[in-house]
């Protein structure tokens, strides 16, 4: 496993990180979840990403229990706030920042999180209020560093322009061979301001693994058959997308990688990407994904992959 500096922080995060969306504490049994977590540490993964809203606190609670036997300085822990935890609790107001960090710390059984991320931008709260509240919890010791997810470039710039507040060190966008929008503005702006990307959905909800074929029904139990995931994966399930993805198979083979590893290695070719978040329900998935770290792939193979997907990527 290789490690990269997270923005201007002093955190060195593994190139592959373990996420907990729709998995730990939610869709995967506890024993299997613990095996995946153990496999992650065995593979050298040191960054665990979660959020308060995952399972309405269930993912954080699972991690709090599962990580309790490990030295706190042996892993880097990130969580998030914004989405509703109840009818009254949502957004990035000062009261919510202070309330939700305390609730997350309680569930995670820790005195601090290494990275606290704004899950989305809050149009209903003045940005200055949010930044001041976030700065307060950093200065109190409850949070080491700050990040955001899926913020538009203009809001990132406005936050950077506020004087006297803590600076963001990370951005968490959706980014993959099939979703390249962050390259337009978010990645250049971040790179110029000491902010690294922690990528979610680097496999385009599993489509880039090649397991979905245009002439076959989705495998039973896959994300494409999940009602909860329908809105996230539907845009990638078009026949023309699935057909194009199948054309990547010989490129991955030339690189000596699986399709999964090839897609993750493509994301990691970007210097501003510090880590790619993967989800796993089985330990062998963790090990396969982790093996994408440090791969030296012929750039011409990536260029050919980009050409093949140019007409269907978003």
139 band by pLDDT with thresholds 50, 70 and 90: very high
Token pair listed for 222: 């896959």
Mean pLDDT across the stretch 114-126? Answer: 98
Query: Average pLDDT of 163-167?
Result: 97
Averaged confidence pLDDT in the chain: 93
Residues 186, 311: Cα–Cα separation, whole Å:
22
At 220 the pLDDT is 58
d(CA 198, CA 160): 18
75 classed as catalytic: no
pTM for this prediction: 0.93
Asked whether residue 197 carries a pLDDT value surpassing 80, the answer given is: yes
Place of tokens 């897609």: 263
Q: Of these residues, 3, 24, 54, 212, which one is catalytic?
A: 54
CB burial of 142-161 (b: ≥16 within 10 Å; e: otherwise) equals bbbbbbbbbbebeebeebbe
What letter does residue 82 receive in the DSSP assignment? Answer: -
d(CA 83, CA 89): 8
Instruction: List the structure tokens of 188.
Output: 């250049």
- Mind listing the domains of the chain with CATH numbers? 3-210+257-296 (3.20.20.100)
Q: How confident is the model at residue 216 (pLDDT cuts 50, 70, 90)?
A: low
Tokens of 169: 């060190």
What are phi and psi for residue 6, nearest 5 degrees? Answer: -90, 100
- Tell me how crowded residue 38 is: count the other CB atoms within 10 A of its CB: 13
Strands (E), 250-310: 273-278
Structure tokens at 199: 């990528």
- How confident is the model over 11-69, as pLDDT tens digits? 999 999 999 886 666 667 888 889 999 999 999 999 999 999 999 999 999 999 999 99
More confident site: 31 or 285: 285
CA separation (Å) from 141 to 5, 179, 273?
Answer: 21, 36, 26
Average pLDDT estimate for 152-181: 97
pLDDT at residue 225 greater than cutoff 50: no
Residue 84 predicted with pLDDT over 70: yes
Residues linked to residue 47 through DSSP beta bridges, in sequence order = 76
- pLDDT given at position 230: 47
CB 108 within 8 A of CB 63: yes
Pair 203, 191: CB distance under 8 Å: no
**Residue 198: phi, psi to the nearest 5?**
-115, 110
Digit-coded pLDDT (tens) for 247-282: 999 999 999 999 999 999 999 999 999 999 999 989
């Amino acid at each position: 496993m290789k490690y990269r500096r997270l923005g201007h922080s002093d955190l060195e995060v593994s190139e592959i990180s373990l996420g907990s969306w729709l998995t730990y504490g939610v869709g995967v049994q506890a024993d299997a979840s613990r095996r995946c977590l153990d496999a992650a540490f065995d593979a050298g993964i040191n960054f665990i990403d979660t959020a308060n809203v995952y399972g309405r606190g269930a993912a954080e609670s699972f991690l709090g229990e599962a990580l309790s036997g490990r030295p706190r300085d042996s892993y880097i822990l990130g969580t998030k706030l914004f989405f509703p935890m109840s009818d009254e609790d949502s957004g990035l107001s000062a009261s919510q920042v202070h309330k939700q960090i305390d609730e997350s710390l309680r569930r995670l059984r820790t005195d601090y999180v290494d990275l606290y991320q704004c899950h989305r931008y809050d149009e209903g709260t003045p940005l200055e209020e949010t930044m001041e509240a976030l700065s307060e919890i950093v200065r109190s010791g409850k949070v080491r560093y700050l990040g955001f997810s899926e913020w538009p470039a203009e809001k990132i710039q406005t936050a950077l322009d506020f004087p006297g507040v803590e600076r963001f060190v990370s951005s968490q966008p959706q980014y993959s061979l099939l979703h390249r929008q962050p390259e337009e503005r978010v990645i250049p702006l971040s790179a110029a301001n000491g902010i690294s990307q922690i990528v979610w959905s680097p496999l385009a909800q599993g489509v880039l693994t090649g397991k979905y074929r245009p002439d076959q029904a989705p495998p039973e139990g896959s994300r494409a058959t999940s009602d909860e995931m329908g809105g996230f994966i539907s845009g990638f399930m078009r026949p023309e997308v699935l057909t194009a993805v199948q054309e990547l198979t010989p490129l991955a083979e030339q690189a000596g990688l699986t399709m999964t590893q090839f897609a993750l290695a493509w994301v990691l070719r970007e210097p501003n990407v510090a880590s790619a978040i993967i989800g796993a329900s089985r330990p062998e998935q963790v090990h396969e994904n982790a093996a994408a770290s440090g791969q030296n792939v012929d750039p011409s193979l990536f260029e050919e992959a980009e050409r093949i997907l140019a007409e269907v990527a978003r």
